[in-house]
Amino acid sequence: MTSEQHAAADDRCGICAMIARLSAGEFPDAIAELPRSWLILGDAQLYRGYCVILAKRHAREMHALPRGEAHELLDELMAVGKAIERVAKPLKLNYECLGNQEPHVHWHVFPRYSDDQMRLEPVWTRPAAERRRPLPDDERQALIAALQAELRTLLPAARLI
């Protein structure tokens, strides 16, 4: 983080705390540092390929980000979506920017699959205990490597972790 972004961090914010761990190289599911965000593999790998993009700057809402930064963040989001689509070949992607629990701009990108009996529902209607399925370590590493390989071409500015 630059000093400007660090100064904007909120001590009570769980996502700012995650970003501090990412910056320190202490976050196990890190995928890439992008110019405006950090990309991590999410914990709900029932949706294989699920990722979360964390805005580097602490802001409650997209419109509270400087306009250029918000647009660059959306460009990063689209590249991440394309990378997930190429790697996981889902039926559909769900992009969600909620922030009810952690009011710091972040986007969930969920691949949805045809064999999901709840595929017409938002992922959040499935109990957390079912969603939060970790991958075996070798599969997790292979998935992260595949996403990084796509990002290398889609977003050359990405620093792969």
Tokens linked to 148: 């990084």
- Closest CB 1 distance from Zn ion, rounded Å: 11
Tokens linked to 153: 């071409």
Based on CB atoms, which residue is closest to Zn ion, 35 or 48? 35
- Closest CB 21 distance from Zn ion, rounded Å: 13
Output the CA–CA distances (angstroms, integers) from residue 151 to 6, 31, 32, 46, in the order listed. Answer: 26, 10, 9, 22
142 contacts 49 by C-beta, under 8 angstroms: no
- Closest CB 15 distance from Zn ion, rounded Å: 5
- Closest CB 14 distance from Zn ion, rounded Å: 8
Q: Is 103 exposed, middle or buried (0-12, 13-18, 19+ CB in 10 A)?
A: middle
Comparing every residue's Cβ against Zn ion, the nearest one is 13
Based on CB atoms, which residue is closest to Zn ion, 70 or 144? 70
Based on CB atoms, which residue is closest to Zn ion, 42 or 103? 103
Residues at the site binding Zn ion, with contacts judged by CB under 5 A? 10, 13, 15-16, 58, 104
Kind and range of the H or E run holding 152: helix 137-154
133 contacts 47 by C-beta, under 8 angstroms: no
Based on CB atoms, which residue is closest to Zn ion, 1 or 46? 1
Residue holding tokens 């992922």? 123
